[in-house]
Chains A and B, each alone.
Chain A
């Protein structure tokens, strides 16, 4: 994975930078010894590693502001980091940059039940928000599988979803406001406990911006009333097409469940071996549908969808009649990733979105690619919204396997775009999918996005080498954008 060429002059000034940074963030807050930097060299995407110049752990907004302002003046790159669980390399450091690790920003500042929101620091974990408000009958809706540890700040950066985002939306639909520090050190607040932007929807823009536009220091999140009851259906189908068709029929009936997930045979078997919850092993696809709400409503929809499923050709059907049974249905799905980890030395978890109706097509083509590349693949699919997680199984010890897996992954994502979908539904572009951006976007599309980047970070110091495959010089407003030949760093036209 090629990153922007490191600036030797910057690296040469390391001692000076560390000394200055230590003045701004005292104590253990600046790390520069090699043994410690190692632990920060990657996030959840282990394939790519790079030790940064130093790691800074600020404790206050003031410190964040001072550090960023300093880096801006010195031309020092900054990579923000939350819990370090990104699956797309969003927190991959740069050799000539610092990592700004936000781990000390881990407090829930306020819970405001009357206004149905909470104000949290960016490294509060997703699950911690729910845990805090659950005794009062509330919860925080977006529930990515890594919710035990993934941070709210990271959720904002990646516009995280989760299995229940079908009904409750993604992070973008569940935050009301945030405070952010810009690369030049200025602190800005957008939104709050009120609804609707007063002018342009900056809040919406920052969500999903993968740490490229600023460092978020505070987030106001919506909390919802915990549903009265939840029940799930576990439906087995003899082929994926029927499972997909069942989903379409459910939607066509005007029903939007809380969650709909499909697992293919490989995933089912791996999950069952791992958690042993009683998944049927003789089906090609399992469809897990969940409803929540009042008992009257939930019972009605469970019965209704059961009927739909029967007509759609479900070969097995189980309903949860207790909370334990419902959790059991989910246990396999939620353990899908580590379960796959048990059946394969290594696996590469992809993340792409397709129009739901294209699922059978997508899976057929993925199966062909699997034969072509000689690598097995297990599929887990957010059936409700078309977000696909193919897991490519490989062995890093085998020469060339990693490269093959990456090529297979790239082929899958290209397929997603070809079918009318997008490269990434919730993991973000990061470094992983950066070089595929031109599969989905034209130069004009990317230019417009890069212009937005210029608004917030005119020197390109915040999280460089992520999301966009090309740099552009941030010309003054009014001029046409500069063509590649006139770039300040012509050797970085393409990394």
Chain B
């Protein structure tokens, strides 16, 4: 029977766009179950409660009933990676993202977590978006590593993920304009991100260098910080909104000033967030228009490159086998699937995609810290799939995937942009250089 789920969400709250969107999502679901096929948690656990369809059901019950949510429901909603593979699969077009975002916010407001959980989540929401603090804590983490074995799951996950050595701070963290080489063909704002500049500053460095070469001014604006995804996925809506406003404020200044051709993102996890700013402030008379403007200009680096009319430089093509890891935020969240592959192929690489490419690697923002058992299983699965392609290098468009996958494989893991830059005459990507050195017995 193809009838929709009936809902009776609290009519009092009906004006809020979140409620409307959630109700629509619930009504659109016809319970066909197709989403189960591509959901990482259902694939692993085989329990309807850990499937999108089952979560829709639980979230519906929770929102309709009101009051404190059942701890079981919280458990299962917490297990959702927000990878959005279900949205790609759903034949009826259920906007699951709206529903789960709303549910998370509801849970944050109505559910009292155990103290340790609360502290952990607050800590993550506070520390990760603040670059200097994050960097400082990471410098301390080697002290925790010897104890990693006896730490409980989440702490262990955090500590083991901390890098062995901290990369030096890159100048791109300071607001400035990086000027185009030669004739200026456009202005692109760069979201430098929060974790990315700390853990992998070379990505932003590469982006700036590459686009300067293409004739783009790359602008790092004053006041731009975390995109807000992190607190948003933890249900901390007020925080995420504040961060979004800060970014919008900064970029509107540029847009109203000299204008922007794009707001570019090199970590696809952030891209999904920026593109959603319009919805975030849909009902806000003051912020709605600026937010939509910003969202409309937000693009993943692969989209920016694909849309540029200029031919991209390929001075030094390398015939390497690249296993392309399609980040969830890119393939499901933003529906960008072909562009990175086409760009890599045009740059001369042999590109292969793994089996089960729709399945998340388990990084999913802070998921690998908060749900280590599931994240680890997904990582093993993803790494096995990538390695079975026998690649020379693994490329992806999101920092989270890079960090997650590189923990378990000796194959060098790089950002797609690094390979494009290398083929254009840029330097050898660090990960590849390191792996070559290791191969040579260093």
Q: What residues of chain A have their CB less than 8 Å away from a CB belonging to chain B?
A: 28, 31, 33-36, 38-40, 42-47, 57, 83-85, 87, 101-106, 123, 125, 127, 131, 146, 148-149, 335, 337-338, 340-342, 345-349, 391, 396, 402
Bound-state Cα–Cα, A148 to B32, Å: 11
Bound-state Cα–Cα, A125 to B43, Å: 10
Bound-state Cα–Cα, A44 to B34, Å: 10
- Mask for B1-16, Cβ within 8 A of A = 1, else 0? 1111110000000000
On whether the beta carbons of A35 and B4 are closer than 8 Å, the reply is: no
On whether the beta carbons of A123 and B33 are closer than 8 Å, the reply is: no
**Residue from B5, B34, B49 within 8 A of A36 (CB atoms):** B49
Contacts of A101 in B (CB 8 A): 46-48
**Residue from A40, A146, A391 within 8 A of B32 (CB atoms):** A146
Beyond A35-B62, A103-B45: 14 further Cβ-contacts under 8 Å? A36-B72, A38-B61, A42-B31, A45-B1, A46-B31, A84-B33, A104-B45, A106-B46, A123-B46, A149-B37, A337-B91, A345-B4, A346-B2, A346-B4
On whether the beta carbons of A46 and B1 are closer than 8 Å, the reply is: yes
On whether the beta carbons of A148 and B31 are closer than 8 Å, the reply is: no
Contacts of A87 in B (CB 8 A): 1
On whether the beta carbons of A338 and B92 are closer than 8 Å, the reply is: yes
Bound-state Cα–Cα, A340 to B2, Å: 9
Chain B contacts with A in 7-41, Cβ cutoff 8 A = 30-34, 36-38
Which residue from chain B places its CB closest to the CB of A349 in the assembled complex?
A: B2
Kindly state whether residue B57 has any CB partner on chain A within 8 Å: yes
CB distance from A395 to the nearest CB of B (A): 9
**Residue from A103, A131, A340 within 8 A of B47 (CB atoms):** A103
Q: Knowing A46-B1, A87-B1, A335-B91 touch, does A28 contact B31 (C-beta < 8 A)?
A: no
Q: Knowing A35-B62, A39-B54, A341-B2 touch, does A125 contact B48 (C-beta < 8 A)?
A: no
Contacts of B70 in A (CB 8 A): 33-36
CB distance from B429 to the nearest CB of A (A): 31
On whether the beta carbons of A35 and B36 are closer than 8 Å, the reply is: no
Which residue from chain B places its CB closest to the CB of A409 in the assembled complex?
A: B1
Q: Knowing A33-B72, A347-B2, A348-B2 touch, does A149 contact B47 (C-beta < 8 A)?
A: no
**Residue from B33, B37, B47, B49 within 8 A of A44 (CB atoms):** B33
Contacts of B49 in A (CB 8 A): 31, 36, 39
Which residue from chain B places its CB closest to the CB of A396 in the assembled complex?
A: B3
**Residue from B3, B38, B62, B89 within 8 A of A46 (CB atoms):** B3
**Residue from B6, B34, B57, B92 within 8 A of A39 (CB atoms):** B57
Bound-state Cα–Cα, A349 to B30, Å: 12
Kindly state whether residue B73 has any CB partner on chain A within 8 Å: yes
On whether the beta carbons of A148 and B58 are closer than 8 Å, the reply is: no
Which residue from chain B places its CB closest to the CB of A102 in the assembled complex?
A: B46
CB distance from A236 to the nearest CB of B (A): 25
On whether the beta carbons of B32 and A35 are closer than 8 Å, the reply is: no
Contacts of B58 in A (CB 8 A): 35-36, 38-39
Residue of B33, B53, B57 ringed by the most chain A CB atoms within 10 A: B33
Bound-state Cα–Cα, A340 to B3, Å: 11
Bound-state Cα–Cα, A33 to B2, Å: 28
Bound-state Cα–Cα, A271 to B1, Å: 18
Contacts of A83 in B (CB 8 A): 33, 36
Contacts of A104 in B (CB 8 A): 45-47
Contacts of A391 in B (CB 8 A): 2
Q: What residues of chain B have their CB less than 8 Å away from a CB belonging to chain A?
A: 1-6, 30-34, 36-38, 42-43, 45-49, 53-54, 57-58, 61-62, 69-70, 72-73, 76, 89, 91-92, 355
Q: Knowing A84-B48, A123-B46 touch, does A146 contact B33 (C-beta < 8 A)?
A: yes
CB distance from B35 to the nearest CB of A (A): 8
CB distance from A389 to the nearest CB of B (A): 11
On whether the beta carbons of B3 and A47 are closer than 8 Å, the reply is: yes
Which residue from chain A places its CB closest to the CB of B35 in the assembled complex?
A: A149
Bound-state Cα–Cα, A482 to B47, Å: 41
Q: Knowing A35-B62, A35-B70, A39-B57 touch, does A47 contact B1 (C-beta < 8 A)?
A: yes
Bound-state Cα–Cα, A84 to B42, Å: 13
On whether the beta carbons of A146 and B31 are closer than 8 Å, the reply is: no
**Residue from A35, A106, A131, A341 within 8 A of B30 (CB atoms):** A341
Contacts of B92 in A (CB 8 A): 338, 341-342
CB distance from B223 to the nearest CB of A (A): 43
CB distance from B114 to the nearest CB of A (A): 18
Contacts of A146 in B (CB 8 A): 32-34
Contacts of B38 in A (CB 8 A): 148
**Residue from B5, B34, B46 within 8 A of A103 (CB atoms):** B46
Bound-state Cα–Cα, A104 to B44, Å: 8
Contacts of B32 in A (CB 8 A): 44, 85, 146, 337-338
Residue of A35, A44, A104 ringed by the most chain B CB atoms within 10 A: A35
Contacts of A106 in B (CB 8 A): 43, 46
Which residue from chain B places its CB closest to the CB of A121 in the assembled complex?
A: B46
Bound-state Cα–Cα, A348 to B4, Å: 11
Which residue from chain B places its CB closest to the CB of A88 in the assembled complex?
A: B1
Contacts of B76 in A (CB 8 A): 36
6 A-B pairs within 8 Å (CB atoms) are namely A33-B72, A35-B69, A105-B46, A127-B37, A337-B2, A396-B3
Q: Knowing A45-B1, A46-B3 touch, does A103 contact B48 (C-beta < 8 A)?
A: yes
Bound-state Cα–Cα, A104 to B50, Å: 12
CB distance from A308 to the nearest CB of B (A): 34
On whether the beta carbons of A149 and B61 are closer than 8 Å, the reply is: no
Contacts of B62 in A (CB 8 A): 35
Bound-state Cα–Cα, A131 to B31, Å: 24
CB distance from B61 to the nearest CB of A (A): 5
Residue of A38, A57, A337, A346 ringed by the most chain B CB atoms within 10 A: A38
Contacts of A341 in B (CB 8 A): 2, 30, 91-92
Question: What 4 A-B pairs have minimum CB-CB distances, sorted nearest first?
Answer: A103-B46, A35-B70, A338-B91, A346-B3
Contacts of A396 in B (CB 8 A): 3-4, 6
Contacts of A342 in B (CB 8 A): 92
Which residue from chain B places its CB closest to the CB of A34 in the assembled complex?
A: B70
Bound-state Cα–Cα, A396 to B43, Å: 33
Which residue from chain A places its CB closest to the CB of B27 in the assembled complex?
A: A345
Contacts of B34 in A (CB 8 A): 146, 148-149
CB distance from B257 to the nearest CB of A (A): 41
Contacts of A345 in B (CB 8 A): 3-4
Bound-state Cα–Cα, A341 to B92, Å: 7
Residue of A36, A57, A338 ringed by the most chain B CB atoms within 10 A: A36
Which residue from chain A places its CB closest to the CB of B74 in the assembled complex?
A: A35
Contacts of B4 in A (CB 8 A): 345-346, 396
Which residue from chain B places its CB closest to the CB of A339 in the assembled complex?
A: B91
Contacts of A335 in B (CB 8 A): 91
Contacts of A348 in B (CB 8 A): 1-3
CB distance from A428 to the nearest CB of B (A): 14
**Residue from A42, A57, A131 within 8 A of B46 (CB atoms):** A57
Bound-state Cα–Cα, A426 to B57, Å: 27
Q: Knowing A47-B1, A106-B46 touch, does A36 contact B73 (C-beta < 8 A)?
A: yes
Contacts of A337 in B (CB 8 A): 2, 32, 91
Bound-state Cα–Cα, A45 to B32, Å: 9
Q: Knowing A85-B33, A101-B48 touch, does A35 contact B73 (C-beta < 8 A)?
A: yes
On whether the beta carbons of A35 and B61 are closer than 8 Å, the reply is: yes
